[in-house]
Homo-oligomer: A and B are copies of this chain.
């Protein structure tokens, strides 16, 4: 051990190894990077020393010569306490990152607290600071997002979990929410409903735009006027959902609701209906969006629309891993389609906890 002393901060440099081996730094560099041009016995001697002192190259110095390619950045596109990210989804993301990147010896840097920069958030600091050579962006993109434009322009491998109108070339793996809203609305129109309420969350974000678009398209096709007033913006707060449902159903004209808030909060819907004196499945009908293929958010719903968000993301991450490894090019453009099920077997799933709710 310690055949000499490493640098003052306790870390060995390539020069320390070179000195110990009686060669130049460049030769050590060649060995470390598995390059040719080193005699076998010299190589063996150097490798032995590296092993002995457990030398590891300084990533900072390396990253000054070329972009780091062994670390993926994981970022969230908005502050977590505003994010519709639930515990299960985040753990699931972690699994995917683990399976596709960490397991393969890559590192992953997380940045979950993007600073506000004027109107938008800079969630790609890990990239700008060259901590990583690729980025996975979790969460919905803001309509006026500019960060993703810069990420895209950087040419590095990246993926988002949603499209963005202002950047059609964006790399994404997502579900067609416009179609989800369209089939939901059309289904209810076909059942004779004329005034259909919608719980529309993600205000200011792309998902909100897509829901609106699908809803209006279905109405238009049916020759009905666009009734924006039945699209109620909601937050992820339970009380907000209760109020929104209450307000919608207090209007006797409203005979159906599309629950696409992303909250999967059946009790809140029921409470809102109760306050309005309405009975789901009797007084009015509900179409519920769900994110698991075998789960049911609400047993009273007349139909469920399954959004294969995880399935899209899983394939997206897979492709990102390939892109990251240089086995394919980007961008990734993966659009899964939602499916409407009239009958769902299995038990009702309970409302997932959002990430910030875990915090004491």
A71 contacts across to B, CB distance below 8 A: 109, 131
**Which A-B residue pairs are the 4 nearest by beta carbons?**
A60-B63, A60-B60, A56-B128, A102-B112
Q: Which of A34-42, A89-97, A206-214, A326-334 is the contact stretch?
A: A89-97
Q: Are the CB atoms of B131 and A59 closer together than 8 Å?
A: yes
Most buried by B among A64, A107, A359: A107
> At the interface, yes or no: A204 with Cβ under 8 Å from chain B?
no
| A residues 100-136 touching B (CB-CB < 8 Å) | 102-105, 107-113, 115, 117-118, 122, 125-126, 128-131
How many copies of this chain sit in the oligomeric assembly?
2
Q: Which of A148-156, A171-179, A287-295 is the contact stretch?
A: A148-156
Q: Are the CB atoms of B56 and A60 closer together than 8 Å?
A: no
How far is the CB of A109 from the nearest CB of chain B, in Å?
5
A131-B59, A150-B54 known; A9+B67 contact, CB < 8 A? yes
Show the binding face of A for B, using Cβ within 8 Å.
9-11, 51, 54, 56-64, 67-68, 71, 80, 87, 90-91, 94-95, 97-99, 102-105, 107-113, 115, 117-118, 122, 125-126, 128-131, 150, 153-155, 355, 358-359
Can you give 18 contacting A-B residue pairs, CB < 8 Å?
A54-B117, A56-B125, A59-B60, A59-B129, A60-B60, A60-B61, A60-B63, A60-B64, A60-B130, A64-B64, A80-B103, A90-B94, A91-B91, A95-B355, A97-B110, A102-B113, A108-B110, A131-B131
Q: Are the CB atoms of B105 and A113 closer together than 8 Å?
A: yes
A105 contacts across to B, CB distance below 8 A: 113, 115
A129-B59, A131-B59 known; A102+B110 contact, CB < 8 A? yes
A117 contacts across to B, CB distance below 8 A: 51, 54
How far, in angstroms, from A95 to B357 measured CA to CA in the complex? 10
By beta carbon, the residue of chain B nearest A87 is B91
How far, in angstroms, from A104 to B64 measured CA to CA in the complex? 27
Q: Are the CB atoms of A54 and B98 closer together than 8 Å?
A: no
How far, in angstroms, from A130 to B111 measured CA to CA in the complex? 18
How far, in angstroms, from A248 to B327 measured CA to CA in the complex? 53
A63-B58, A91-B91, A130-B60 known; A109+B112 contact, CB < 8 A? no
Q: Are the CB atoms of B102 and A10 closer together than 8 Å?
A: no
How far, in angstroms, from A359 to B9 measured CA to CA in the complex? 40
By beta carbon, the residue of chain B nearest A56 is B128
A58 contacts across to B, CB distance below 8 A: 63-64, 129-130
A10 contacts across to B, CB distance below 8 A: 153-155
A359 contacts across to B, CB distance below 8 A: 95, 98-99
By beta carbon, the residue of chain B nearest A55 is B128
By beta carbon, the residue of chain B nearest A147 is B54
Q: Are the CB atoms of B95 and A94 closer together than 8 Å?
A: no
Q: Are the CB atoms of B102 and A57 closer together than 8 Å?
A: no
How far, in angstroms, from A105 to B87 measured CA to CA in the complex? 20
Q: Are the CB atoms of B99 and A104 closer together than 8 Å?
A: no
